[in-house]
Structure formats: structure tokens, C-alpha cells
Structure 1
Amino acid sequence: MEPYYKYSAYLRDRYGEKTYKLPVNLPLTCPNRDGQLGTEGCFYCGEQAAGFESEPDESVREQLLELREYIGDRYKVDKFIAYFQNFTNTYLPLNNLKSYVREALTVDDIVEVILSTRPDCVNYEYLQEIKNLVQTVKPEINLTLELGLQTINYRTLQNVNRGHSLAQFIDAVLTARTSDFGIGAHLILNLPGDEMIDVKENARVLSALRVDNVKLHALYLREGTELARQFKAGELEMISLEEYIDRVITFLRYLDPRIAVQRLIGRAPEEGSVFVNWDMSWWKIHDMIIEEMNEREVEQGDFFDYLQGPALNKFQG
């Protein structure tokens, strides 16, 4: 038995069978690149952002059909999620995004649409328009926002030029809830400046906000980014693999056990990068984390005892 609540188990619990995400890339950018908030982007973000695995030169429907056929045949899957993954999807003009979502809804066996975005690109009216579209075309489809938080440490957010605040993340979560969107959050547990106290508070904040799932990444450095420059100049030191593993385990122990975990470490492109996952395969690091948790006899939620007024426990029999 896995010592944490895997996202695959969460999807099986939700949809009754194995369900796979189909990544969709769109031709777009983000406000931290085009001058709305800034021009440099986040100091770790490469030119392709999260979409390095595929090219956005096909239509949404073509991307989904191609992946559905491949993954469905390979893994014997009949239910899928359309995952709009790259850059900031809700930074698109509303009518454009509605057109892309409508296209995704034409593909059979789609049970959910996920929009990956930034916390400062979410508002109630925009989400309501997307929700109304889906309810009109296919009301059985679930909607989820994946929000790039990266860390609750607002000083770190500023230092890596993230361009949004913790308050904006909290606001985005609350706004999405009012529109019946599920919530996913992205975290990078080894951003420069973050310490173990930040790791614990990441788990506490996400648990208090009752997000549905979380995706963990280790920081990787793309050529041409500011953090890559600092690393090559000896101005930035990465934490050790052992420290990263300890941070992941600590995070999980403080995390609400009902929150699904999409991944413990992300895949990253080696070509064009100056640092990726301590020169190890992501799946080897994943297995090392699981092995360490089993050896310590710990699991997700061990330390989930800090909400709902724990100081009042002394008054309860």
C-alpha cells in the first residue's frame, strides 16, 4: 500500500475506473512575460513552460484524439481528462478559451476539463462563463483549476519574480470554489530561500483551504533563465537530493490525507537545462521517497492535527 493518497487512486474513487489526463497545449503566454506584469517571466521558467512534451501546432481536438487513441490502447482506459497545461490558460481572451474548451467537449469519453493558470488570472465572471458553457454543452463534465502557487513564502515568490502573492492564491481558491471548480495546486519544494518551515506551512495552508490535489516539483534550471545564470556563476546552491526527499516526506506528513498527490517530483527536459533532478531519473527519486517513508513507517497525514481549534481539545472528554 502506498504511504500517500495517489492521484490515480483519487481519480478511480471519483470516476469508478482508471482515468488518464490528456495534455493539451495552446498558443499563449502569460502576463509575467508579455509586459502586463513583467517581461522576464519567473526566474526559473523556460520558453516552453510546462508544455515541453508536445507542440501546440495541432487543434485541441486533434491533440486529444491522438493522445486518447495512444493512451487508451496502451493502458486500456475509457475515461479521460482534457488538461490544458501550458502557460496561463485563463489569460486568454474569454471567447478564445471558450472556443478551445468547447472543442474539447466534442471528444468522446472526456469526463473533466482542467485549466492550468496563475492565481492572478482568475476572477468570478470569467469562471462563471466557462462553467455556463460546460453546463450547456455537457453538464456532466467536471471543471478543475490547477493553480501555480510554488510556495507560500511571499518573499520567495518575490525573489524568483513570480509576480503574484500568497493572498492572490487564496483569493483564487475561494473564487474557484464559488464557481464549483475543483482545485489543484503546484508547489516547488526547493526554491532558493525556502526552508523546512516553509515546507510545513505549504502543507498547512493547502490543507486549510481544502484543495483537492497537489503536484510537487523539484526546481530545474533551464538555460537562459536568471536562476540558471546564478547557478553557473556560483551564486545559487541547490539543496541535496537527501534534503529534497526529507522535504517531500515532511510535506506529506503535514498534508490532509484526503488531498490527492499527483506527483512527488516532476519530469524535466535534460536538453537545454543546467540542472535537472540531481542527474537522476524522476521515477528513481520517487521510489527512493517511498522506500524512505516505508523504512521510517510514516505516511501522509501523520501530523495533520492543527486545524479546527486543536487547543480546545483539552475541553473535550
Structure 2
Amino acid sequence: MCYRKYSDFLKEKFGEKVYKLPIKLDLTCPNRDGTCGYGGCIFCGEEGGSFENNYGSIKDQLNFNKEIIKNKYKANKYISYFQNFTNTYMDFNKFKESVLESLIDDVVGVSISTRPDCLGEEYLDFLEELNKDYFITVELGLQTVNYHTLDKINRGHGLAEFIDSCIKLKKRNINICTHIIIGLPWDNDRDIVECARILNALGVDEVKIHALYIVRNTVLGKMYLNNEIAPISLKDYKKKVILFLRHLKDDIIIERLIGRAPEENSLFCNWDTSWWKIRDDIVKEMNDKGYSQGDLVKGEIL
């Protein structure tokens, strides 16, 4: 394989297939409620990054999704995945209670979706302690290393907060997964290469790559309808993903090369092409040209 796949990593670590079980909570983000801004990220809809399951108790959601995955993939081990909005942006005791409730039978790990500016010491202390018995991953939404673009998309934080969070998590030996978007209108190839190099320097463990999808009733959606922005071409997306991978160290795990979006609520989503077709095209091009993850890292200071 021309890149290090997440599914292969999990199988190596646990000796068998492991699948994520999504959990959706009634949450918000600090750039929505006025703490550091209003309206949230300009690309984020009301689902807050999660659209695959409904609200309900944590155990009900886990057991429902567990039965589906177990029957479909014959899986026996799972990771509880707190997926929507900012999961560490709630009362600490409620956060702790929610995480502990997710440790049902056959759960071997927990993934927490959050922001770089929402990792208080008590949350980190708790996750560090839990990491002794479970595989804990903190999924940090970065999206881009270009701080001008971070302002444009209304993230409410800069690159420095991301770097600080990674340093804190690394000191506690907690696994880091970074979310990035390839195809933001204000980024160029230099930003993509610099993103890979910064993640290399910080020792990030995993990366989850998203294409820019455009959801109705968002600021980005209005910009798209007003012809203020235009998505890059599918050809350019594949090219940029390959560029990123070639500058990323080969021991960093790739959770995915492209994400999915609720098509019924999207103005633009993955060029009306299935995510697996885009993934397979990227892999084929890399194999055909003899490219691999990290093959351009040689000779760098890192």
C-alpha cells in the first residue's frame, strides 16, 4: 500500500478488525455561542460534523451501531467515537461521565473530537489516566495551517493553539488525530506542503483528510451560491492529496483520504463521485507513478 492505512494499523495493534461506533451528543462550540465567535465554522452545518446517527442515550447509540457493524463486518472490538461538535467543551464531570458510560463490552478505545483551544488540564489528566487501559485518541480539528484561512473560516483559534495542544498531548502519550481540509479556496500548494511538515515536526499520529463539501444554510453555502468561491476540480483534489501524502512521514496513519457528507443537504459534495472511487483513483495514480507516503521527506531537517 502506498500509504499507511488506519484499518491496517488497528488490525496490527489489536490483532483483528476494529470499528468506530459514532456517538452524537447535544453540544456546541465556542465559536458558535459567542465565547470566541458566532455561527461556527463557515462550512459547518447544524449536525456539527455528524450526520450518521440520531440522538439517544450513549449506550443506546453504541449498541444500535454495534449490532449493525457486527452483523455486517463480523467485528468483535470497537472504539467509542464522540463525533459531533466540541466534546471537551462541556462541564468536566459531564464529560467524564459520558466517556465512562461509553466503555461498554468490546470497546477497546475512545476517540474524542475537539478543538485545539478546548483542552483543559483536568480533561487531559482524565484522558491520560484512561489511556492506561484503553486506546485514547484526541481528534483535533485544524483544517489548515494558514492562519489567514483560519480567520476566513471562522475557526476562532490560530495555529499556535494547535501546536500547544499537540505538545500537551504528546507529553501525556495520548494519540493525536488531526483533521485537515484539502481544497479550501484560500490555500495553495505551499500551505499543503507546510501542513505536512508541521504535522511531521509535532509527531502527530494520525491524519484524517476531508475534501471541502458545501452544506446548505451555511456561510460557505451562501458564498458558493453568490459565486464568491468555487470548489477545486476533482483532478486538483487528487493532485493535492498526493502532494500532501508525499511530504508526510510514512509512519503517520491515514484514517481516510476523503470524507463523506449528507448529499441531501449539500450544495456540493465530492464532485458527485463516490468516496471510494476517489480513494481508489488516488491509490492507483500513486502506484502507477511509483509515489508513496513520505517519499519527499528525505533530506528535510525533520
Give distance in 2, aligned partners of 1:306 and 1:150: 27
Say yes or no: does 1:112 pair with 2:105: no
Equivalent residue, structure 2, for 1:47? 46
Q: Counterpart of 1:61?
A: 59
Q: Percent identity?
A: 49
Quote how far apart the aligned CAs of 1:124 are. 2.4
Task: Indicate the structure (1 or 2) with the bigger Cα radius of gyration.
Answer: 1
TM superposition shift of 1:208: 1.0
Cα offset for 1:161? 0.9
SS in 2 for 1:287: helix
Quick one: distance in 2 between partners of 1:304 and 1:225? 37
Q: Show structure 1 runs of 4+ deviating over 3 A.
A: none
The answer for unaligned runs of 5 or more in structure 1 is 311-317
Work out the CA distance in 2 between the residues paired with 1:75 and 1:242. Answer: 32
Post-superposition offset of 1:298: 0.6
Per-residue displacement from partner, 1:1-22 (whole Å, max 9, x unpaired)? x211000011112112111111
- Measure, in 2, the Cα distance between the counterparts of 1:164 and 1:14: 34
Q: CA deviation at 1:249?
A: 0.4
2:90 equivalent in structure 1: 92
Residue 151 of structure 1 is matched in structure 2 by: 144
Residue pairs, 1:122-161, within 5 angstroms: 122-132=119-129, 134=130, 139-161=132-154
The letter for the 2-side match of 1:288 is: D
SS of residue paired to 1:9: helix
Write the deviation string for residues 214-269 of structure 1: whole angstroms up to 9, x where unpaired.
Answer: 00000111111111111111111221110000000010101110001011010111
Provide structure 2 residue ranges, at least 5 long, that are not aligned to the other structure. Answer: none
2:188 pairs with one of 187, 192, 195:
195
Q: Is the 8 A contact 1:124 1:176 kept in 2?
A: no
What is the aligned partner in structure 1 of residue 75 from structure 2? 77
Mapped pair 1:176 → 2:169 = yes
Which moves more between the two structures, 66-75 or 44-53? 66-75
Matching of residue 25 in structure 1 with residue 27 in structure 2 = no
Structure 1 CA distance for aligned equivalents of residues 185 and 212 of structure 2 = 9
Q: TM-score, normalised by structure 2?
A: 0.97
User: Is the CA contact 1:94–1:126 (under 8 Å) kept in the aligned structure 2?
Assistant: yes
Q: Provide the aligned length of Structure 1 versus Structure 2.
A: 302
- 8 A Cα contact 1:124 1:179, kept in partner: no
SS in 1 for 2:10: helix
Is 1:286 the counterpart of 2:283? The answer is no
Partner AA of 2:123 in structure 1: Y
Task: Summarize deviations over 1:263-295 as a string: whole Å, max 9, x none.
Answer: 101011111211111111111111111111122
1:164 to 157, 160, 167: 157
Cα deviation 1:150-190 (Å, max 9, x = unaligned): 01111110111111110000111111122331100000011
Q: How does 1:230-309 map to 2 (within 5 A)?
A: 230-307=223-300, 309=301
* Partner SS, residue 120 of structure 1: coil
Tell me the SS of whatever aligns to 2:276: helix
Distance 1:98 1:293, change over 3 A: same
Q: Given residue 123 of structure 1, which amino acid in structure 2 is its aligned partner?
A: G
Residue number in structure 2 paired with 1:186: 179
**Which residue pairs with 2:2 in the alignment?**
3
Task: Report the residue type matching 1:7 in the other structure.
Answer: Y
The 8 Å contact of residues 200 and 251 in structure 1, kept in 2 or not, is answered as yes
Q: Following TM superposition, by how much is the alpha carbon of 1:306 offset from its aligned partner in structure 2, in angstroms?
A: 4.9
**Contact 2:92–2:122 (Cα < 8 Å) also in 1:** no
Q: Is the 8 A contact 1:123 1:172 kept in 2?
A: no
How far did residue 55 of structure 1 move? Answer: 1.2
CA shift, 1:75, in A, is 0.9
Query: Where does residue 118 of structure 2 map in the other structure?
Result: 121
Counterpart AA for 2:172: S
Q: Distance in 1 between matches of 2:242 and 2:122?
A: 38
Aligned to 1:314: none
**What CA distance in whole angstroms lies between the structure 2 residues aligned with 1:238 and 1:29?**
27
Q: Secondary structure at the match of 1:256?
A: coil
Q: Which amino acid aligns with 1:289?
A: I
Q: Name the SS of the counterpart of 1:271 in structure 2.
A: helix
- Where 1:89 maps in the other structure, the secondary structure is coil
Let me know the Cα RMSD of the aligned residues.
1.3
In structure 2, C-alpha distance between the alignment counterparts of 1:224 and 1:306, rounded to whole Å: 46
1-structure distance, mates of 2:13, 2:257: 21
Residue type of the alignment partner of 2:13:
R
